[in-house]
Structure 1
Amino acid sequence: MPELARHVDAVPPSGIRRVYELAVQLPDVLMLAIGEPDVEPAEHIARAAQRAWDEGATDYTPNGGIPAFRQAVVDKLARDNGLRVDVEQVWSTVGATQALFQALGLVLDAGDEVLIPDPGYTTFPMGARMLHAEPVRYALRPEHGFLPDVAELETLVTERTRALIVNTPSNPLGVVFPEATVRELLAFARRHDLWVISDEVYERFAHTRAHVSPAALDEDDRVLSVFSLSKTYAMTGIRAGWLVTPPGLTEVMRRVQEAQISCINTPAQYAAVAALTGPQDAVGVAAAHYRENIRLATQLLRQRGIRHHEPEGAFYLWIDVSHVSGGDVAAWAERFVLEQRVAVAPGSAFGRTGEGWIRVCAASPTETLLEGLRRLPSPV
């Protein structure tokens, strides 16, 4: 067999998937490792997808998506995000994963650097490496409330730095950036003429403060915004999201979409229209369920004396297990699933500063979540 391209070996594996693949081979595992909502898509969303299949809506669509999907996004952004865009700035994608990769591909050349949060979502460095670019991690530390430290960001910028990834509400931390932080990050990007790639997948699950979209505060067209239907509407396997670009990139986007995916699957786009334009009751019910799970879980962790971050958004718990992980939380998480039948995501999967922590998905059946937390070892 001929050799694979050298950059492929530089793509880091997913530490989350390692635990997940181990867990699915075992009986009676409490699955808390992946961000899978425990609710079903609302009935009107499922009906829209089924109707598309039944009516033969399975042909190619325009690169950006069917007009109804793109217009629904335009209306949603104006209503919910304070962001007014033209339909030609909205591009349907295969979930947020492709939108992130598309955004990185638009702004990074081989050897360029992108600033990514640490802890941060696992595909941030993976996407950069796939493009022959260099991910440079900026630390999110508990003593700063897990917010970015712009003074530290200043020390990381080089002549090769091209972009900054911002994630709020954040995965894995559940931190929601205040407006002042968003403005500070935009000012930093402006000083160094950087692109900002904004991951807003968990926008509808901001529990303690309002979500602020960076593009709504952007004054010079440097923000690329990534959204997804997966978490909000429990549509993880349907794979529908969108990328919002600055104005003037229509012809560029048509080329890169055609080269990468042509278009996303048509029934998923009709499901997306139904999700965005139909009743939103299920989103509110899901958000209330996640908030209650978080309340009960953090109450239990406090009672057991286990250090953790109180999430402001998303549906994850960030829990300190350094008292038992022995400096290798990934190995500990594998032992934990084998011995206690509880699958959690090791914090090191999200970056070096995640060592000694775990991420637990609170979008789970309540008793599954609480029983999994009861099996965590308490500090001595």
Structure 2
Amino acid sequence: MPQIAPHVALMPGSGVRHILEQALRRPGTIILAVGEPGAVAHAGIRDAAATAWRDGAIRYTPNGGISELRRAIVDKLARENSLHVDVEQVWVTVGATQALHLAMALTLSRGDEVLVPDPGYTTFTMNAHLLQAMPVPYPLRAERDFQPDLSELETLVTPRTRAIIVNTPSNPLGSTFDRETLGALLDLARRHDLWLISDEVYERFTWGERHVSPATLDDDDRVLSVFSMSKTHAMTGARVGWLVTPPGWRQTMLRVQESVVSCVDEPSQRAAVAALEGDQAQVDRAAAHYRDNLAAATALLDRRGLRYLDPTGAFYLWIDVSHVSDGDVLRWCERFLDEAQVAVAPGSAFGITGEGWVRVCVASDRAELLEGLARIPAPA
């Protein structure tokens, strides 16, 4: 019988999903492994989608998205990100996942190399394999507080390198890159004529300096920016994100978007308009909840002598469990799930540099979060 394309077999699976699927089969498990906001989108957002369904607004929309949403995004980018773009640079996608895939498909050919953060979001590597490109990890190490080593990055660039992916605030690390670091990464991209793909899904959740969009530092149109409604407005299942391209890509984007999804469903787009144009108090409340959960969680880890990366963004804690994981943190997470009924994400799912660490989502109920963390064995 026919076989699937050989390169698909090279695409790694998700270690996070591996743990989550086991956890879902165990009633009573405390699930801290998946990045899901604890709240649901507020009523005004849900009502906008419901009204669209009732009114029969379920036909094709323009490839780039309905005009109301694209204009709302343009206004949002100017207001919150100091990023001034034309509406034809904004392309509404099926979540940030599709935006990221589009950005990589537009910039990578078969055999090209793309620099990806390690630890980094699993889809970066998965997409590269699916596109028959080669992901080249750039290590983010504990001894540097998981910040990039620019001199090491320089040595990873080859004649086949076409792009670098930057994710700040970071999933899984909960770290951020400051303006100086982003400027240095853009300088590297200019020196080697690389695209810079910027994943900014957690932009509204920073716990120190304000988020900086790399495109605001770009002076030669080499940045593609990826955003999402999922985390900021608790709309993970609605699947609305967007890709911001350099100017002049309209004809290319029309063809590419049509070939992949045609368009995002209109009820979800209407919900996104309501979210962007409505009261942002829920986003502010969510940010305060995550910040308070992080404070309570890190205080508990401090008392128990557990090492972690001090979070500066997103809603994750990156915790060192190397004292018990014995060089195989995935197997330890499986045992921890069986014995303690707590699901955490193995750091190795995000790259080899994540070995010995786990990612914990703090977006859930605080009491449940603290109970789960209390079950992690403390160092002797």
- TM-score band (shorter)? over 0.9
Matches within 5 A, 1:263-282: 263-282=263-282
Give per-residue Cα distances to partners, 1:216-247, cap 9 Å, x unaligned: 11000000000000000000000000000000
Q: Which whole-Å CA distance do the structure 2 matches of 1:331 and 1:374 have between them? A: 20
Give per-residue Cα distances to partners, 1:63-102, cap 9 Å, x unaligned: 0000000000000000000100000000000000000000
Q: Which whole-Å CA distance do the structure 2 matches of 1:341 and 1:27 have between them? A: 9
Counterpart for residue 50 of structure 1 = 50
Q: Report deviation, 1:372.
A: 0.2
Matches within 5 A, 1:245-264: 245-264=245-264
Give per-residue Cα distances to partners, 1:349-378, cap 9 Å, x unaligned: 000000000000000110110000000000
Matches within 5 A, 1:313-352: 313-352=313-352
Q: Does 1:84 align with 2:117?
A: no
Counterpart for residue 215 of structure 1 = 215
Aligned-partner residue type, residue 36 of structure 1: E
Q: Report deviation, 1:338.
A: 1.0
Q: Which whole-Å CA distance do the structure 1 matches of 2:40 and 2:117 have between them? A: 31
Q: Which whole-Å CA distance do the structure 1 matches of 2:81 and 2:138 have between them? A: 26
Counterpart for residue 353 of structure 1 = 353
Q: Report deviation, 1:166.
A: 0.2
Q: Which whole-Å CA distance do the structure 2 matches of 1:302 and 1:224 have between them? A: 39
Counterpart for residue 227 of structure 2 = 227
Q: Which whole-Å CA distance do the structure 1 matches of 2:368 and 2:213 have between them? A: 33
- With normalisation by structure 1, the TM-score equals 1.00
Aligned-partner residue type, residue 262 of structure 2: S
Q: Which whole-Å CA distance do the structure 1 matches of 2:207 and 2:54 have between them? A: 39
Unaligned runs of 5+ in 2: none
Matches within 5 A, 1:1-380: 1-380=1-380
Q: Report deviation, 1:207.
A: 1.2
Aligned-partner residue type, residue 216 of structure 1: T
What is the SS of the residue equivalent to 2:276?
A: helix
Q: Which whole-Å CA distance do the structure 1 matches of 2:7 and 2:110 have between them? A: 10
What is the count of residue pairs matched by the alignment?
380
Give per-residue Cα distances to partners, 1:7-57, cap 9 Å, x unaligned: 110100000000001000112000100000101101110010001101111
Aligned-partner residue type, residue 64 of structure 1: G
Q: Which whole-Å CA distance do the structure 2 matches of 1:13 and 1:79 have between them? A: 38
Q: Report deviation, 1:145.
A: 1.7
Q: Report deviation, 1:107.
A: 0.3
Q: Which whole-Å CA distance do the structure 2 matches of 1:248 and 1:158 have between them? A: 28
What is the SS of the residue equivalent to 1:319?
A: strand
What is the SS of the residue equivalent to 2:41?
A: coil
What is the SS of the residue equivalent to 1:225?
A: strand
What is the SS of the residue equivalent to 2:256?
A: helix
Q: Which whole-Å CA distance do the structure 2 matches of 1:250 and 1:150 have between them? A: 34
Identical-pair percentage: 63
Q: Report deviation, 1:126.
A: 0.2
Q: Report deviation, 1:299.
A: 0.2
Q: Report deviation, 1:212.
A: 0.3
What is the SS of the residue equivalent to 1:100?
A: helix
What is the SS of the residue equivalent to 1:309?
A: coil
Q: Report deviation, 1:295.
A: 0.1
What is the SS of the residue equivalent to 2:243?
A: strand
Q: Which whole-Å CA distance do the structure 2 matches of 1:351 and 1:58 have between them? A: 40
Q: Report deviation, 1:144.
A: 1.3
What is the SS of the residue equivalent to 1:92?
A: strand
Q: Which whole-Å CA distance do the structure 1 matches of 2:209 and 2:299 have between them? A: 20
Aligned-partner residue type, residue 311 of structure 2: P
Q: Report deviation, 1:143.
A: 1.6
User: Which aligned segments of 4 or more residues in structure 1 are displaced greater than 3 angstroms?
Assistant: none
Q: Which whole-Å CA distance do the structure 2 matches of 1:225 and 1:269 have between them? A: 19
Q: Report deviation, 1:208.
A: 1.1
Q: Report deviation, 1:142.
A: 1.6
Q: Which whole-Å CA distance do the structure 2 matches of 1:72 and 1:147 have between them? A: 33
Aligned-partner residue type, residue 26 of structure 2: L
Aligned-partner residue type, residue 157 of structure 1: V
